[in-house]
A and B are shown apart, each in its own frame.
Chain A
Amino acid sequence: MYDVGNSFSAHLIKLNHTLVMKHTPFCSFGLETSSRARVRLALVLLLSFAALPAMAAESETLIDYQRQIKPLLARHCYACHGPDREGQDNDLRLDRREDAIAFAILPGDPDSSSLLERIETEDEDLRMPPPDTKKPGLNSEEIALLRTWISQDAPFEEHWAHRPPRRVPPASEVRPWSRGPVDHFIVGTQQREGLAPAKTADRRTLIRRLSLDLIGLPPTEEEVAAFLQDQSPGAYQRVVDRLLASPHFGERMAIYWLDLVRYADTGGYHGDNDRNHAPFRDYVVEAFNENLSYDRFMREQLAGDLLPNATRRQKIASGFNRLNMTTREGGAQPKEYMAIYAADRVRNTGSIFLGLTLGCCQCHDHKFDPYTMRDFYSMAAFFADVKETLVGIQKPITLLDQQQTQRVHDLNEVIDAAKTVLAGESELWDREQAAWEKTEKPTTDMGWQQPADILISSDAKTEFEKMQDGSMLALGERSANDTYRIDLPIPKQGLSAFELELLPHASLPRQGPGRAGNGNFVLSEFELWQGDTSLPISAAVASHSQGGWEIEKSIDGDVHTGWAIRPKIGQRLTAYFELAEPLVAGQQGNVQVRLRQLYGSGYVIGRLKLRTTAAAQPLDVLRPRLPYKAVYDVLAKNASQRSVEDAQLVRDHFRRIAPETEAVRKVIQDAAKEKKYIEDAARKVLVTMAAEPRVVRILARGDWQDETGEVVEPAVPESLGSIQATDGGRPGRLDLARWLADPENPLTARVFVNRLWKLMFGRGLVHSLGDFGSQGLPPTHPELLDFLARDFIDSDWDIKQLLRQIVTSSAYRQSSDTTEAQLAEDPENLWLARQGRFRLDAEVVRDNALALSGLLVPAIGGESVRPYQPEGYLAHLNFPPRTYKHDKGENQYRRGLYTFWQRTFLHPAMALFDAPSREECTVERPQSNTPLQALLLLNDPSYVEAARALAVRILQEGGRDDKARLDYLFQRALARNIESAERELLSALLAKHRDYYRQHPEQAEAMGQNGMHQSPAGLDRVELAAWTNAARTVLNLHETITRN
């Protein structure tokens, strides 16, 4: 019935392909009549009831759709036949069974399934995937898998990660090796794969492994010795408990969590300016140390600010929502960045908590997983209430401790009281004010006159309207550049200065007073002419000047400079210009003011008013008073003309300047100063504050300029369920956090458990830590993953309990040594028949060296620190240029976790060992092995200094001879005994370098210059230098930076 073999049909298909739909593979299935599809469907249903169970029973093992088939279809077919329907003009979907069997698959009958036909055909025009998709063709194994699967009725199970985790009993128990459920699952899988567990690692290896895994620091010699000696039962558990209780546990966990949440100390875009987040980092450390349950941990970060009576710490936790990259670049468009920040939060929230790759859905529905653009923007809407600066400085809050808070409160009371006194009734002060006004009065009236016969013209033929107040408003087409010429008769009283007022007006851009788009203008030169003679202007003052565009630049004779007024747009401004030689009273004739405006294009004045005076040297009086122009304008009025506001203005001013009020003012000043001091010294942090939610629309193709998209409300991806707000209103961040922690959420616990497993084994049970979708890898141990996830939820999300369960297993305690046979059998260690082995994280490479040397300052928390860094490393930063000053005191020797995290130029000691810049959520760091790492460990002053300090300890504590000292070095650095071959190599090095430094004592001395640490005076410098090189050698060993 299903006639793909029919030549006519094939012909049609081919024709269709070549003529019509070049880019739509499988579109030919659309040729099928719908009635034929219905008939076929009926047949399928019949078959599935009757024939298939028998077929399945007799065939080979059942094909696992999720593990074996879906990834294959996703890789080869979904690009055109997957969930994303955008731009696909074919009807075939291979991600849903009902669609697949309607067109391409006949369950139970591979030979009649056109899917296989089209994949296997020799006809290049028909073969799938078509060559122009550049997708690799399917190989014979893959085709065979598809064939078997179809013959097994082509079941489509739900994606494993979308089913809630469920407990299933472990397959087998092997005692005594197996210590608990974790081991039962692992050994069961090993048996299936024909493997056996590795031997248990020796105790030295175990305690080093546990220490590095749980606190990110090596064990001390004393800790190693104590563990070796403790033969009583529970010795191992006691080490585990000690480490989980250590304050360094939180630091170690934070290293990973901060990668996920993209914690950094700077904004990341453009000038990469500093931001205030360190208290958030400290919160994370504390939360892990206190074993805050994971559901609470998520809730406080996503919505700590929304919790009832949110504590200070919960507010700090909410800084999570502010960790995205931000820009301050001039010219960045706020709306664009609003879209960028929103998308960032969706991508990262998806990655951090759910292992989802939602990023695709910013522009189109997901190609492989059931997520849509609507899901993406609905997720964004959860964060639409986060208050932030779209382009500019992100403003932190100030963190005060209890004592500081009390003091600031007291100071505020003092300030308020003193202000009340200062503003209050006082006959004495009023009397003083009256006397003061009398002394000021004579100079307030300089006899400013508005010239009557004024004539204004413009070089660019600009027209003016003379307003009622005597001001002139420019009309019509704006010229690029212009010179206004104002002719006036010389006033009878004479002329000593001009007052130029610039006034706002509704017709001007942004109310003016300039005509440029931003309301500004540039007065290149103010000139005064009498006939052909230029009358020099000696001084100018203005009520306000733009930085770099001071009023003096309008009288400097240079037309390339000038006076401008940003940001005082839309306001009245005044400038005064004083003649070098006043024109005395009684002179006849005219003068001409020229306002030359030659800057750029269109920076011309919109509305102006001109007045004159003959008072002698008026600027001497005006200059100090100009800031209080309003006050002096009132003083110039008669008492009867003054309004209530006028009187208040003068009184306030007087009390601000009068010697009689100084004592009260000093009280205010001192209190304010102390308050500022307290607040400046206090820590700052960015937190989330909720505002009215912004409107969130679906942006077609992710285009932020498109404002036609549908408005969406907060919602989780539809395929994962739905959220109802507790109060029935608009769901918010708190509801999102609750939904994440729902015991039936299939992703949250699995994703987190898997990541902790990765930290303890070097590989997740789901290898793709960041992708729990169909393109990720399925779990190697699905039952174990589900067991751990379910257990984690049932333990109320107890993180330490989860880790305890993992690290006390026999699986964890296996040796990581490998034989060639093991490598051949299971190169990737999928089945965990040995422990993992991996390089320490960048921070821990540093911490380890500092701890071994004794230089480590183990303080917890605080502002970020600055280790030594090559000079000029930040030379590419600007706005402002950055100079790096490494810390001088104890902060030089803090753990790597506290390194100042400069996103654009991460400290090289971090970056070279694969620490991420934290611009995006990083679920897994790469493990690179590069020559630059070698150069760093060999030559970075931090490591040379650590080697030097280690050498000091060797000489002081390591015994009397080379043998004892080498023993000590290996015990301390590697927690193991040195072997004779190793001893021989290091002895040879020591012998040679002793000779060398004996002959070159200045070199031995120079060795002490690496780093600030002072070696004790009494030590033999030659011996110290030789041992420093021995210590450098050990700090450079692969083993030293490897967790075995």
Chain B
Amino acid sequence: MHLADPIYQAICRRTFLHRGGVSLGTAALWSMLADDRAASGAVLGSESRGVVQPLHHPPRAKRVIFLCQAGGPSHLETFDYKPKLAAMDGQPMPESFTQGQPIAQLQNNELRCLAPQRSFKKYGGSGQSISDVFPHLSKVADELCIVRSAQTNQINHDPAHTFMNTGTQISGRPSMGSWLTYGLGSESDNLPGFVVMTSVGGGQSQPIAARQWHSGFLPSRYQGVQFRAAGDPVLYVSRPQGVSADAQLDVLSTVTGLNRLRETSTGDPEIATRIAQYELAFRMQRSVPELMDISDEPAHILDLYGTPGADGSFAANCLLARRMAERGVRFIHLYHRGWDHHGAVKDGVAKTASLVDQGTAALLTDLKQRDMLKDTLVIWSGEFGRTPMAQGNGRDHHIKGFSLWMAGGGIRGGMSWGATDELGYHAVENVFHVHDLHATMLHLLGIDHQRLTYRFQGRDFRLTDVHGEVVKPLLA
């Protein structure tokens, strides 16, 4: 756009000059008209920081990549080897384990043990016990802190995801990504602070509701924004047919010019925010496609992740997650929907693992080689685990003990934490509840989970409700 452009001239004449030179509006429009990368947080500055000012303690991580393994991966075929369970294959599950426990699809069924279906080995200098379904991940075993004593409260997929994300099964509470962006703000000026991507494959694709990345009672701007592999990467980010990039910019500039006039005549402070949001929208129309276009990634990186390009696979999403991390996205939430192995758990786990293994390992490797793993917390977890009891040749949902791991961002790599009992049913050693995961995660980001609160309907709410302990031994 040239200075001689009639729209530009009209806007200058009518909106800034009589306001006396460079105002907030001028800066906003300038950055829109000129280089969008040069736009600092000037306009959104007050909003680009979070409410935790200053941080409660020095942070160890700046961002989180949460690799949600949706459906509930079997801990017994991945990270938690139980020889005793093998010995009891086919025998009745002792009632002492299951008496009074919530049960999902195995309700009213006779409960029998199902032996671990995969073989396990020790990997890395630390000797982490991992099954044969993760040939890539096992190579970076020394980065992982494997927790084998995780517990949650909800036994069905939908409520369990809600619990994992919000710390309660009641709808309407903010998800952890929203809490984090609320607390810390976004580091990016032209991307949302909280991004969600999904992939499928390897097993039954359980539904995932948008409530999983909802901001609940927090302001909507902290809501997760879904980036999509097909169609518009962000809803409505593409211009209409018949509208060129320049024409779109003209419309935006004129909207801003008219809004600015209105601001003067009504004194409505909300208009300044509206102008800033149009500016960010405009930048997103460039920054989002640029982020999603991975054609600038060299071949060896694509090979590392094992993806030919942005094809909607988990591997491609891992690569995109790294690109988002580089661009300052605060909370990157990848879902892989494919772990619900009620039947054929032996082949099913291997199949789903084969779809996430390489991308996951590549993400850790790639972050490390860019010196970003040290301040990026990577979490790998399902919404729950699976029963030691057979459901045919599969396993049912299980919440009393399952496995997850964390890496990077202030986490001690190469360690294991907690244990389930000899049959892999109850977490019995160093129980690590979802609330503890949340508390520990917030701690790593410089936040005291008891002090990040939001007042709603007369109560101060927290991600950890009235629970949660920071598990210090996991920290580097």
> Contacts of A931 on B, CB cut-off 8 Å?
277-278, 280-281, 284
Q: Which of A912, A1034, A1039 has the most CB of B within 10 A?
A: A1039
Name B9's closest neighbour in chain A (CB-CB). A988
Name A1041's closest neighbour in chain B (CB-CB). B274
| Contact of B242 with A1025 in the complex, beta carbons under 8 Å | yes
Q: Which of A938, A940, A1006 contacts B241 (CB 8 A)?
A: A1006
B14 interface residue (CB < 8 Å to A): yes
A984 to B254, CA, bound (A): 10
B103-111, B125-133, B313-321, B351-359 - interface stretch = B103-111
A992 interface residue (CB < 8 Å to B): yes
Q: Which of B104, B265, B459 contacts A775 (CB 8 A)?
A: B459
A150-158, A792-800, A848-856, A902-910 - interface stretch = A902-910
Name A871's closest neighbour in chain B (CB-CB). B231
A563 interface residue (CB < 8 Å to B): no
| Contact of A932 with B255 in the complex, beta carbons under 8 Å | no
| Contact of A360 with B231 in the complex, beta carbons under 8 Å | no
Known A-B contacts A272-B207, A935-B236, A988-B9; A876 and B109 likewise in contact (beta carbons under 8 Å): no
Interface size on A, residues (CB 8 A): 119
The interface bits of chain B over 392-405 (1 if a CB of A lies within 8 angstroms of the residue's CB, else 0) are 11001100000000
> Contacts of A944 on B, CB cut-off 8 Å?
240
> Contacts of B171 on A, CB cut-off 8 Å?
268, 325, 917, 919-920
A359 to B231, CA, bound (A): 41
Interface residues of B in 192-245 (CB under 8 A from A): 198, 204-211, 214, 219-221, 225, 228, 230-232, 234-244
Q: Which of A873, A987, A1029 contacts B243 (CB 8 A)?
A: A1029
A709 interface residue (CB < 8 Å to B): no
> Contacts of A438 on B, CB cut-off 8 Å?
none
Q: Which of B14, B112, B250, B284 contacts A989 (CB 8 A)?
A: B250
B42 interface residue (CB < 8 Å to A): no
B73-81, B256-264, B438-446 - interface stretch = B256-264
Known A-B contacts A775-B457, A872-B228; A817 and B267 likewise in contact (beta carbons under 8 Å): yes
A510 to B450, CA, bound (A): 50
B152-160, B326-334, B360-368, B420-428 - interface stretch = B152-160
> Contacts of B90 on A, CB cut-off 8 Å?
479-481, 601
Report the minimal beta-carbon distance from A209 to chain B, rounded to whole angstroms: 13
B266 interface residue (CB < 8 Å to A): yes
Q: Which of B14, B107, B237, B277 contacts A331 (CB 8 A)?
A: B107
> Contacts of B240 on A, CB cut-off 8 Å?
938-939, 941, 944, 1007, 1010
Known A-B contacts A919-B171, A1033-B254; A979 and B261 likewise in contact (beta carbons under 8 Å): yes
> Contacts of B457 on A, CB cut-off 8 Å?
357, 768, 770-771, 775-776
| Contact of B392 with A599 in the complex, beta carbons under 8 Å | yes
A329 interface residue (CB < 8 Å to B): yes
| Pair count A-B, CB < 8 A | 297
A509 to B14, CA, bound (A): 84
| Contact of A329 with B157 in the complex, beta carbons under 8 Å | yes
Q: Which of B251, B273, B274 contacts A1033 (CB 8 A)?
A: B251
A1039 to B107, CA, bound (A): 58
| Contact of A996 with B459 in the complex, beta carbons under 8 Å | no
B458 interface residue (CB < 8 Å to A): yes
> Contacts of A478 on B, CB cut-off 8 Å?
110
A992 to B10, CA, bound (A): 12
B184 interface residue (CB < 8 Å to A): no
> Contacts of A270 on B, CB cut-off 8 Å?
156-158, 206-207
> Contacts of B228 on A, CB cut-off 8 Å?
872
A659 to B401, CA, bound (A): 65
Name A364's closest neighbour in chain B (CB-CB). B466
Interface size on B, residues (CB 8 A): 104
> Contacts of A908 on B, CB cut-off 8 Å?
235-236
A256 to B476, CA, bound (A): 51
A307-315, A677-685, A922-930 - interface stretch = A922-930
A270 to B105, CA, bound (A): 15
A12-20, A627-635, A650-658, A818-826 - interface stretch = A818-826
Report the minimal beta-carbon distance from B438 to chain A, rounded to whole angstroms: 16
Interface residues of B in 369-401 (CB under 8 A from A): 390-393, 396-397
B11 interface residue (CB < 8 Å to A): yes
Q: Which of A332, A917, A981 contacts B156 (CB 8 A)?
A: A332
B141 interface residue (CB < 8 Å to A): no
Name A882's closest neighbour in chain B (CB-CB). B207
Q: Which of A360, A600, A871, A979 contacts B392 (CB 8 A)?
A: A600
| Contact of A1029 with B236 in the complex, beta carbons under 8 Å | no
Interface residues of A in 981-996 (CB under 8 A from B): 981-982, 984-989, 991-993, 996
Q: Which of A770, A876, A878, A989 contacts B254 (CB 8 A)?
A: A989
| Contact of A985 with B14 in the complex, beta carbons under 8 Å | yes
Report the minimal beta-carbon distance from B210 to chain A, rounded to whole angstroms: 5
Name A1021's closest neighbour in chain B (CB-CB). B242
A271 interface residue (CB < 8 Å to B): yes
Q: Which of B104, B107, B254 contacts A985 (CB 8 A)?
A: B254
| Contact of A269 with B159 in the complex, beta carbons under 8 Å | yes
> Contacts of B473 on A, CB cut-off 8 Å?
none
A934 interface residue (CB < 8 Å to B): yes
Interface residues of B in 1-44 (CB under 8 A from A): 5-7, 9-11, 13-15
A1003 interface residue (CB < 8 Å to B): yes
> Contacts of A669 on B, CB cut-off 8 Å?
none
Known A-B contacts A368-B458, A986-B254, A1029-B251; A936 and B242 likewise in contact (beta carbons under 8 Å): no
Interface residues of A in 1003-1044 (CB under 8 A from B): 1003-1010, 1025, 1029, 1032-1034, 1036-1039, 1042, 1044
A171 to B143, CA, bound (A): 72
Known A-B contacts A989-B7, A992-B5, A1029-B243; A926 and B251 likewise in contact (beta carbons under 8 Å): no
Report the minimal beta-carbon distance from A180 to chain B, rounded to whole angstroms: 28
Q: Which of A517, A599, A1029, A1037 contacts B262 (CB 8 A)?
A: A1037
| Contact of A876 with B198 in the complex, beta carbons under 8 Å | yes
Name B269's closest neighbour in chain A (CB-CB). A823
A602 interface residue (CB < 8 Å to B): yes
The interface bits of chain A over 867-880 (1 if a CB of B lies within 8 angstroms of the residue's CB, else 0) are 00011110111110
Q: Which of B106, B236, B244, B390 contacts A938 (CB 8 A)?
A: B236
A642 to B396, CA, bound (A): 49
A357 to B459, CA, bound (A): 10
| Contact of A602 with B110 in the complex, beta carbons under 8 Å | yes
| Contact of A601 with B158 in the complex, beta carbons under 8 Å | no
| Contact of B270 with A333 in the complex, beta carbons under 8 Å | no
> Contacts of B255 on A, CB cut-off 8 Å?
1033, 1036-1037
A1043 to B235, CA, bound (A): 26
The interface bits of chain A over 46-80 (1 if a CB of B lies within 8 angstroms of the residue's CB, else 0) are 00000000000000000000000000001000000
A330 interface residue (CB < 8 Å to B): yes
A933 interface residue (CB < 8 Å to B): yes
A929 to B222, CA, bound (A): 11
A899 interface residue (CB < 8 Å to B): no
B122 interface residue (CB < 8 Å to A): no
| Contact of A517 with B236 in the complex, beta carbons under 8 Å | no
A893 interface residue (CB < 8 Å to B): no
Name A991's closest neighbour in chain B (CB-CB). B6
A919 to B211, CA, bound (A): 10
Name A1002's closest neighbour in chain B (CB-CB). B242
B114 interface residue (CB < 8 Å to A): yes
| Contact of B102 with A820 in the complex, beta carbons under 8 Å | no
Residues of A within 8 A of B (CB): 74, 134, 268-272, 325, 327, 329-333, 336, 357, 359-360, 367-368, 478-481, 509-510, 516-518, 599-603, 705, 768, 770-771, 773-776, 816-820, 822-823, 837, 839, 870-873, 875-879, 903-906, 908, 911-912, 914, 917, 919-920, 926, 928-936, 938-941, 944, 979, 981-982, 984-989, 991-993, 996, 1000, 1003-1010, 1025, 1029, 1032-1034, 1036-1039, 1042, 1044
11 residue pairs A–B, Cβ–Cβ below 8 Å: A517-B110, A602-B110, A919-B171, A929-B274, A930-B277, A934-B280, A938-B240, A986-B254, A1004-B242, A1029-B243, A1036-B278
**Shortest beta-carbon contacts, A-B, top 6:** A775-B458, A1007-B242, A517-B109, A331-B104, A600-B392, A904-B209
